[in-house]
Structure 1
Amino acid sequence: MADENTEAVPPREERQDRVLDVGALRAMAHPLRVKIFDILSQYGPQTASSLAARLGESSGSTSYHLRALAKHDLIREREDQGSGRERWWERPVGGVSFSNPDAMATPAGRAATQLVMNEFLRHRNDQLLDFVNSELDHLDESWQEGTMISTASTRLTAEQTKELIGKIQALVDDAVDSYRNQTGEGVRPVTIRADLFPLPELGDKS
């Protein structure tokens, strides 16, 4: 998984995702911290108070978790925004990856990775269900035409799957790089999903 949140993103070919080490994964391994990290990814800079209002938590709680994430450079304070009483936090430059073989080689690292991934997927799935149940039938025509919830199945080799992932990722990267900081009338946060994984064969109980 990769995310960027920056006003000056270098060319994609010059970037590498940060592979989170066990310490960063363990710092992230809390349901509220995953939600905070995800909100900063999707909506941009926030304060402890704005996060508390969105998450139904106290500002003291969100402030504590923000500091815990900042200790591992997962987020950072915006020096040019806010005051001593109201600190703004943002995602740093670059993407992150949870695919760390060293972390997965230890029980603690594997548990932290699984918890973080489970919470990210749960949060994103909750957002999708909330959209379907609460907003889908209220969209104006332009956004109805700009919304797609779709799934498809085919049969591929591992190499064909890798090639398809590259094509999908290139399209997503181009959209992110082109519109990451777009503002103006009619602009709103949009989440882009690309799930691609092999299914078990019939009769496979593993």
Structure 2
Amino acid sequence: MTNTRESRSLDAGALKALAHPLRVRIFDLLSERGPQTASTLAALVGETSGSMSYHLRALAAHDLIREVEGRGTARERWWERPKGRIDLPGPDDSMTPSNRASAQIVTAEFFRLRHETLMAYLNRAESEIPEEWRDAGIVMTTYLDLTVEQMAELKAELTEVVDRVVERYQGQSGPDVRRVSLRAELFDLPTDARTEES
């Protein structure tokens, strides 16, 4: 299957624009909840609308978010995150020190928010979850022993599954539809993480 999802690697300017915890939170909220106004985002994060508007303009200047066409008024603009995958560059030895610092800030904040969301899910009281949704999710960790070629093959298979379900269900709405988080992680551990069997 061909990957039909657009992917964007952040350049230095976009990375620096995003390298602020509140901007990462805005970006994350637009991904999670869909289009929002400065006022609704301000209420969600406990900021003023004026402060929120400033950060929204900074993100829009680097095409990280965009105004929703045909929605809103001159006083109340709606913002959305463009569809597609964002590739976050990890700190790289070829980066300048400021770009490396920006990458570290963005990555740390994204994963802090991701962990916060996971912990909220794990700690939610059963009474807060509709009965039909209580056993619908899964949190799983598995350790494997793979070659780099096998890991690349597994990565391609997982990506294909994710792309297929995104294409099938993205934009779906209705009374029985809830927003869900789909996460996939696959990475090698340090070489000293596995002790040889004796």
TM surpasses 0.5: yes
Number of equivalenced pairs = 194
Cα RMSD for the two superposed structures: 2.2
Q: How does 1:55-74 map to 2 (within 5 A)?
A: 55-74=45-64
Q: 1:120 aligns with which of 104, 110, 120?
A: 110
Conserved? CA contact 1:103–1:113, under 8 Å: no
Q: 1:165 aligns with which of 155, 158, 175?
A: 155
2-structure distance, mates of 1:179, 1:139: 22
1-structure distance, mates of 2:68, 2:22: 21
Q: Which residue of 2 aligns with 1:139?
A: 129
Q: Which residue of 2 aligns with 1:181?
A: 171
SS of 1:191 mapped into structure 2: coil
2-structure distance, mates of 1:75, 1:33: 11
Q: Which runs of 5+ in 1 are unaligned?
A: 1-10
Q: Against the structure 1 CA distance between its residues 80 and 39, is the aligned structure 2 distance closer, same or farther, given a 3 Å change threshold?
A: same
Conserved? CA contact 1:104–1:113, under 8 Å: no
Greater radius of gyration (CA): 2
Q: Structure 1 stretches (4+) deviating beyond 6 angstroms?
A: 100-103
Q: Which residue of 2 aligns with 1:196?
A: 186
Listed one character per residue, the Cα deviations across residues 132-162 of structure 1 (whole Å, up to 9, x for unaligned) are: 1234563233212211111111111111111
Q: Which residue of 2 aligns with 1:8?
A: none
Conserved? CA contact 1:78–1:88, under 8 Å: yes
Q: Which runs of 5+ in 2 are unaligned?
A: none
2-structure distance, mates of 1:118, 1:183: 32
Q: Against the structure 1 CA distance between its residues 88 and 12, is the aligned structure 2 distance closer, same or farther, given a 3 Å change threshold?
A: farther
**Percent of pairs with identical residues:** 49
1-structure distance, mates of 2:193, 2:180: 38
The residue type paired with residue 160 of structure 1 is Q
Q: How does 1:1-206 map to 2 (within 5 A)?
A: 13-99=3-89, 104-136=94-126, 138-202=128-192
**TM-score scaled by structure 2?**
0.89
